[in-house]
Amino acid sequence: MPVNKHLYKRYKIIDYCLRDVNREYTYETLLETVNARLRDIDCDTIQLRQLKADLAEFNSKEDFVNIKLGRRKILRYENVLCPFPFDYFNDWIMTSIDNILKLLSEPEFSEKPIFKSMRMLISHIPVFLSSKIDSNFLEFEDNPFLKGVEHFDQILYSILNKVVLNIEYEPYGKSSIQFVAHPYSIKQFNNRWFLICSTDSFPNNLTNLAIDRIKSLQINESIQFRDSPVNIDEYFEDIVGVTVSHNEIVKIKLKVSEKRYPYIESKPIHSSQTELKSERTDGYRIITIKVKPNKELTSLLLSYADDIEILEPEYLREEMRKKVENMYMKYAQK
């Protein structure tokens, strides 16, 4: 049987449904659910005949129960904890893993800490596959079918081969925009991926485009590629997130609750984070970061609720106080 990512995704959807003890799937309702999820990830839908052929493949590997309920038959695994039954996908998966590892060994990626960690993790996946461990033992917060993910291959190719892209981009609440983009890097923040590039409209500045807002893209071989106008690592060095403000770098002093500090210590707010051990008090730790304030920093600090308090500078503390007051007023209204 030819193995491809669309077949793999369809089988994984069916596999998930056959394990669901909270649903009583018939052929008709299973077909509706499978097709709904296929549409969500931009894959072709199937007919009932194809679904029955797929289920026959499943039944040849693992028993699933046809429970009679009146005139209906309920489709479910006999053992809902059984492993994913199609071992022949492993060769296809491991070939894909090998290609990813080769990509991450390229000079553009090899020295970046995040890609070193990715290589280490990905290199162990074949061991997990061969040991028959339940596929749910390792889960990522990111949605594997994130909108826009279909563009990753072409974006990575363009970055590595230094080719220009024609991009149709749709900002939130606005009409689509056409860009001629010179791609340099992909950056992740808050479970979203961003293409870092320059455009022909603003050749001396970097632009970040949320990949999930890219509607379409095409390689443009008629325009010569332009290198980044700045050092990308240095460009993002003094911020949290992807929005580079024109603010000056400031030293921000934060008061962190003792219960939340271990988390912030292991996952720093910014690489400049330092604890002022001499100012430690009962129930609190004092830390500093040196950054250019932006909206991502504000959102991140707000996400810690009352576990973090801005002590300095005063103007930033005042901005946060106003936001908290506005939140209070909204929640106080009945």
Res 298 pLDDT > 90: yes
Residues of the chain with CATH 2.30.30: 149-235
pLDDT for the residue numbered 290:
96
The Cα 330–Cα 11 span in angstroms is: 46
How confident is the model over 119-170, as pLDDT tens digits?
555 554 544 444 444 444 444 455 544 567 778 778 887 887 788 999 999 9
Q: In angstroms, rounded to a whole number, what is the distance separating the alpha carbons of residues 259 and 135?
A: 33
Q: Is the pTM of this model over 0.75?
A: no
The CATH classification of domain 149-235, taken from the options 3.40.50, 2.30.30, 2.60.40, 1.25.40: 2.30.30
Q: Tell me the three state secondary structure of residue 240.
A: coil
- What amino acid occupies position 60? S
- The pLDDT value recorded for residue 287 is 96
Residue 67 half-sphere exposure toward CB, CA atoms < 13 A: 11
Residue 50's H or E segment, with its range, is helix 48-61
pLDDT at 89: 55
Domain topology for 5-77:
Arc Repressor Mutant, subunit A (1.10.10)
What DSSP designation does 150 have? Answer: G
Q: Is 1 within 8 Å of 44 (Cβ atoms)?
A: no
Are 151 and 159 a contacting pair, CB within 8 Å?
no
Q: CB 176: neighbour CB atoms within 10 A?
A: 12
Q: Which regions of the chain carry the CATH code 1.10.10?
A: 5-77
Average pLDDT over residues 319-330: 92
pLDDT one-digit tens code per residue, 1-53: 444 567 878 888 998 888 877 788 899 999 999 999 998 888 889 999 999 99
Query: Given a cut of 80, is residue 198 above it in pLDDT?
Result: yes
Question: How deeply is 279 buried, as exposed, middle or buried, from its count of CB atoms within 10 A (0-12, 13-18, 19+)?
Answer: middle
pLDDT tens, 80-125? 767 777 765 555 555 566 666 666 665 555 555 445 545 555 554 5
Summarised one tens digit per residue, pLDDT across range 219-254 is 888 899 999 999 888 888 999 988 888 889 999 999
In the predicted model, what is the mean pLDDT of the chain? 81
Which residue matches tokens 């029955």?
52
Residue 300 CA to residue 286 CA, distance in Å, equals: 17
CA dihedral 151, 153, 158, 164 (to 10 degrees): -20
Asked whether the beta carbons of 179 and 198 are under 8 A apart, the reply is no
